[in-house]
Amino acid sequence: MTSKEYYWKNRKKLLADQKTARRKRRTIVLDFYGGKCYCCSEILYEFLGIDHINGGGTKHRKLVGANLDRWIIRNNFPPGFRVLCHNCNLSLGMYGYCPHIGIPQGGDDSPKVV
Ligand SMILES: [Zn+2]
Ligand SMILES: [Zn+2]
């Protein structure tokens, strides 16, 4: 049996294994960086993600692709990352602040509370 045949025969199991392995890596990495959202202390892993503290996330993400967790483990958990939930991450990325911490006041381009 070629490896391709093997793959198609066991595709379901292989994909499931991959998923399990991915989740495991994710849990390990999230645990290492605190296991909860740096901003709002969210602890549900389904909502959490790894964030680059000093930006540069997009560039780095392009480099390591979707395998950031694997990259972090391989590189021995380098500093410069933190855990953020998707709400806080999105808000910080989109507005530059998170309303959990406070909405910046003053200035023309400060967001208006509607
Ligand atoms: Zn949060
Ligand atoms: Zn927040």
Short-list 45, 46, 23, 22, CA closest to 34: 45
47-97 pLDDT, tens digit each: 999 998 876 656 776 777 678 999 999 999 999 999 999 999 999 989 989
Ligand 1 centroid, distance to 37 Cα (angstroms): 5
Ligand 2 centroid, distance to 99 Cα (angstroms): 6
- The pTM for the full model equals 0.78
Ligand nearest to the CA of 91: 2
| The token pair that represents 102 in the structure block | 């406070």
Ligand 2 centroid, distance to 94 Cα (angstroms): 12
37-50 pLDDT, tens digit each: 999 999 999 999 99
Q: Which amino acid is at 37?
A: C
Ligand nearest to the CA of 36: 1
